[in-house]
Structure 1
Amino acid sequence: MTVLVLRALGLGDALTGVAALRGVRRAWPGHRVVLAAPQPVGQWLAGHGVVDAVLPTRGLSQLPWPWAGPGGAQDAPGCLAVNLHGRGPESHRVLQATRPDALVAFANAEAGHVGPDWDETEHEVLRWCRLVRSVGGHCDPEDLRLGPADPPGGRGQESGPGEVIVHPGAAAEARRWPAARWAQVVAALAAQGHAVVLTGSEAERGLCARVRREADQGDAVRDASGRLGLQALADLVSAAPLLVSGDTGVAHLATAYGTPSVTLFGPTPPELWGPTIDLPRHAVVWHGERGAPPRDPNASRLDPALAQVPVDEVVAACESALTQLPATGSETTTPSWPDRPARAPGVPTPARYAPG
């Protein structure tokens, strides 16, 4: 049997779903777990053994199912489908169209599905763990880990000795701290004797070039933007003494590898998307109002909470992280998760899908 899991999202979303994906394996051991997701991220997770195969998917497009995977054998209709993408109804219907024997998903009346209730105030990692735990797949935030901070074989060829990573970009303007402020942080780190490497996508090469130029620290700052694949970026993060970034996908790599980090939050509170493990290693800087609803993380203007973050607070958080002291003055997430709930109605037990 195959367990088809939908999470057709980017790097940060994929990494926050790793714990739930491991719970899926525990709920149905010995079964083939296929992840419907963008090819690069999905294939990378398959390489880590989190899933068995990736069905290349962008957004909520119709899934080609039954599907002939890498081995050529076609998956039969009647798989078990798990929605780790959203609350529905669109994502529910994408999976319902594959004619699964059962759908594991949050309740959605419009899609005609009964399941656990969605909780707007729940941390992203805990939300998906709760869904999978409802069908017997034990998992918790500790399952986010992808490896030790110092990987076997040492640093990759893209990494220099002891480089602090600064990642100034983000997918949306709402989560992009001003380049001039990033330049001041980079200059302060370099002035303290730290080698700095700037990372970013191909589209962020101009931003990184500006940050490096305005920092004006010469060879103490290296620009690797636009030339790191996902594995090379992961290798760099796993071996770094510190990652400094906004609320974007690379921050979740630091969580996965236990790399100390300083993350700047804006529209989304860290209690919903911040680190949930190794809290002394991860400082978050946020000037939002606790308890207020999150704002649009994909807005086209700088979020007011992020705009209020001063350079000196970020530099101080970096200094604390580099000396392995808890940062002061920053908000931090407190992890908590409930005991395993009862199995959701209408979902087959793991025994129903046991081998043989």
Structure 2
Amino acid sequence: MGSRVEPGEPGVRRIVVLRGGAIGDLIVTEPSLRALRLAWPAARILLLGNASAGSLLVADGIIDDALSLDADWLAPLFAEDDSLANAALRRIEERLRGETDLAVAWLREPESAPVRHLSRLAGRVVAGPSVPPAGTKVHMVDHLASALQRAGIPVRDRMPRVRQAPIATEDERRRRGEASGSDIAIHPGSGGRRKNWPAERFAEVAAGVRDLGLEPIVVAGPADADATKPLRALGCRVVEPRDLLALADVLSDCVAYVGNDSGVSHLAAALGVATVAIFGPTDPRVWAPRGPRVETIWVGPEALAMPAEEALARVSVRDTLDAIRRCLS
């Protein structure tokens, strides 16, 4: 669904983008958002989605503003009743500081109520499905870009990129320990336990990277307490960045990163950090992080038919250490 739009077309001064999901979902959308910025460099671009992840792209100049799609006032956007959505549409235009010229939306159902409401707001709407059709093996970056391509907006660079300027204060750097130039970040968590490689194996990897002359530094959030226990027992430094900008700062200081199929893995890869991502029940042909130096470890398509625990158990510590060596060679 959508209008045909000419890149650079005059009159496109304000763009609203609806894209829900977690950190990784926004990172794989970055090439498409960057294509919008390249097509209309002076336009004001507002993201309705993950505001925390959106802060990375605001800092990078890809978008201008990000609002949480979980905000109560946006809920009527998903209601069928047009009159209920009117107040939300007015607030969107207030945030855009004027009338909306183009709306872009990725949703499970592109013909759904939010797209219909956005079509009342904007002169032109580009909408596409947020996930590829079942059974297809198109990478998420390419799938999302296809909606813009069909509308006439080229997405030439399909590599997610996040540029990060150092933001940590001196106190923060002192608390987490000065980067030695040989730190390797380890994140043992993800958005769901079924995607997590056993925590004990991450601890074995941490011990192994020390033998390579690297120092493991564990990045963690509130949900990662159990996954970090074996790493803490090994004496690894654990840092809990206050937000995603601070997390990006930590990752940027590291020579490499190891993690699960997670948003943090996508962020590390987009920052250009050598990244090793461990997959089990999910398909890296669709979900692998993209970056200049990425290694994915997966037993293969047969993993999709296995219990998640078994698929992950088949990934060995040796395989992971070998992947780290390849990334750094």
Q: Same fold (TM over 0.5)?
A: yes
Provide the rounded CA distance (Å) in 2 between the counterparts of 1:43 and 1:253.
13
More helix per residue: 2
CA contact (8 A) 2:251 2:257 kept: yes
Identity among equivalent positions (%) equals 27
Matching of residues 93-112 of structure 1 within 5 Å: 93-98=113-118, 99=120, 100-106=122-128
Which AA in structure 2 matches 1:49? Answer: G
Aligned equivalent of 1:346 = none
Whether the 8 Å CA contact 1:238–1:257 is kept in 2: the answer is yes
1:305 and 2:311 correspond: yes
Return the letter of the residue paired with 2:208: A
**TM-score (structure 1 length as normaliser):** 0.73
Describe how 1:29-178 pairs up with structure 2 within 5 A: 29-58=41-70, 61-63=75-77, 64-67=88-91, 74-76=97-99, 79-89=101-111, 92-98=112-118, 99=120, 100-106=122-128, 120-142=136-158, 144-147=160-163, 157=173, 158=176, 160-161=179-180, 162-178=182-198
- Structure with a larger share of its residues in strand: 2
Corresponding residue of 1:282 = 294
Per-residue Cα deviation, 1:171-220 (whole angstroms, up to 9, x for no partner): 1122111111111111111243321111121121332133321xx3x3xx
Q: Distance in 1 between matches of 2:319 and 2:268?
A: 20
The offset of 1:30, in angstroms, is 2.9
Q: CA deviation at 1:133?
A: 1.9
Instruction: State the 1:276 CA deviation.
Output: 4.0
TM-score (norm 2): 0.79
Check conservation: 1:244, 1:263, Cα contact below 8 A.
yes
Instruction: In structure 2, give the amino acid aligned to 1:80.
Output: L
Q: How far apart, in 2, do the equivalents of 1:271 and 1:72 lie?
A: 37
- The answer (yes or no) to whether the contact 2:106–2:128 under 8 Å persists in 1 is no
Where 1:106 maps in the other structure, the secondary structure is strand
**RMSD (Å), alpha carbons:** 3.1
1:270 aligned residue? 284
Cα gap change, 1:203 to 1:153, in 2 (>3 Å): closer
Secondary structure of the residue that 1:223 maps to in structure 2? strand
Q: Which amino acid in the other structure matches residue 251 of structure 1?
A: S
Cα distance in 2 between the residues matched to 1:7 and 1:72: 17
Cα deviation, residue 141, structure 1: 4.0
Task: Name stretches of at least 5 consecutive residues in structure 1 with no aligned partner.
Answer: 109-116, 325-356
Could you say which residue in structure 1 is the equivalent of 2:252? 238
CA distance in 1, matches of 2:39, 2:222: 39
**What CA deviation, in whole Å up to 9, does each residue of 1:131-172 have, x standing for no partner?**
112223222345522238xx5799982452121101000111
* Structure 1 residues 277 and 223: alpha-carbon distance in aligned structure 2, compared to 1, 3 A threshold: closer
Q: Given the superposition, is the C-alpha separation of residues 177 and 263 from structure 1 closer, same or farther in structure 2, using an over 3 Å criterion? A: same
CA distance 1:206–1:46, shift in 2 (3 Å): same
Alignment of 1:338-349 (within 5 A): none
227 and 152 in structure 1: CA distance in 2 versus 1, 3 angstrom threshold: closer
State how far apart, in whole Å, the 2-side matches of 1:188 and 1:143 are: 30
Specify the alignment match of 1:25 in structure 2: 37
Specify the SS of the correspondent of 1:283. strand
2-side partners of 1:72 and 1:33: how far apart?
10
Pair 1:12–1:107, CA change in 2 (3 A): closer
SS in 2 for 1:209: helix
Match for residue 237 of structure 2? 222
DSSP-derived class of the 2:46 partner:
strand
- Do the aligned partners of 2:279 and 2:296 also contact (CA within 8 Å) in 1? yes
Judge conservation of contact 1:19–1:142 (CA < 8 Å) in 2.
yes
Secondary structure of 2:89's aligned partner: coil
- In the alignment, is the contact (CA less than 8 A) between 1:3 and 1:33 conserved in 2? yes
